[in-house]
């Protein structure tokens, strides 16, 4: 799908916003939301038949998912990718109650936090890599609310221009160079960013269970991403 979108970008030129080609983004949203639902159904069916499942799991759903622990694992994975791509990685500080748990799908949560932290790592490192200053740490804050569990990822990577905020949800837009399919397949920077699918698909994962993903940016300073997760139990799948 990413390669097809890249060829489409070459044909349509600079029209990369969601409002420029709405039919493309509507199709991609439906396609990936359906894919998330199908994978969830198949994975749940298979997981229910796995013997000796942990007592806190019901298929793919963990009734005692720890957002702090999942965030820690996602951060470590993102830092590995960043270190392979750029040779270094900023620090990440995680704030929250490690004993707090709620019902959620750990693989979904890991994917969303991984993508958001990966974006922040890249933004901070690119901004500070040519300076003598140490890159400031990225902050991951977990908040337990009555309705939602909210995770905030905050960085000082320079932010996004106000004119570009609407473009970050486009499948046709990326702040990084588009990876090449030719040459060495082990080119690690291509794994870091460039396809433009990370944020849109992460938002679909959040919305699949009634949550949402919002991004607030201050150009010249940094970006805050707010991941809202609805507690499971009373939300239907938003399938088309």
Residue 102 in contact with residue 149, Cβ under 8 Å? yes
Closest CA to 215 of 71, 82, 112, 100: 112
Q: State the DSSP H helix or E strand holding residue 106, giving kind and residue range, or none if neither.
A: helix 106-128
The SS3 of residue 16 is: coil
Q: Name the residues annotated as catalytic.
A: 111, 115, 118-119
Q: Which of these, 21, 22, 1, 25, lies nearest to 11 by C-alpha position?
A: 21
Q: Which residue(s) pair with 213 in the sheet?
A: 227
Contact (Cβ atoms closer than 8 angstroms) between residue 206 and residue 213: yes
């Amino acid at each position: 799908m990413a390669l097809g979108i890249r060829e489409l970008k070459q044909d349509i030129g600079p029209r990369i916003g969601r409002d420029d080609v709405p039919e493309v983004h509507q199709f991609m949203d439906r396609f990936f939301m359906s894919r998330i639902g199908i994978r969830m159904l198949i994975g749940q069916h298979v997981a229910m038949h796995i013997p000796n499942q942990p007592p806190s799991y019901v298929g793919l759903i963990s009734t005692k998912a720890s957002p702090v622990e999942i965030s820690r694992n996602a951060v470590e994975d993102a830092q590995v990718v960043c270190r392979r791509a750029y040779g270094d990685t900023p620090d990440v500080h995680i704030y929250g109650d490690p004993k707090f748990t709620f019902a959620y799908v750990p693989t979904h949560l890991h994917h969303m936090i991984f993508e958001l932290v990966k974006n922040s790592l890249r933004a901070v490192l690119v901004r500070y890599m040519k300076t003598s200053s140490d890159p400031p740490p990225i902050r991951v804050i977990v908040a337990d609310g009555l309705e939602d569990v909210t995770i905030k990822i905050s960085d000082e990577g320079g932010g996004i221009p106000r004119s570009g905020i609407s473009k970050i949800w486009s499948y046709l837009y990326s702040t990084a160079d588009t990876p090449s399919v030719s040459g060495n397949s082990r080119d690690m920077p291509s794994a870091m960013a460039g396809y433009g699918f990370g944020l849109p698909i992460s938002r679909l994962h959040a919305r699949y269970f009634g949550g949402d993903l919002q991004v607030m940016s201050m150009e010249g300073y940094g970006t805050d991403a707010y991941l809202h997760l609805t507690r499971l139990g009373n939300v239907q799948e938003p399938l088309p």
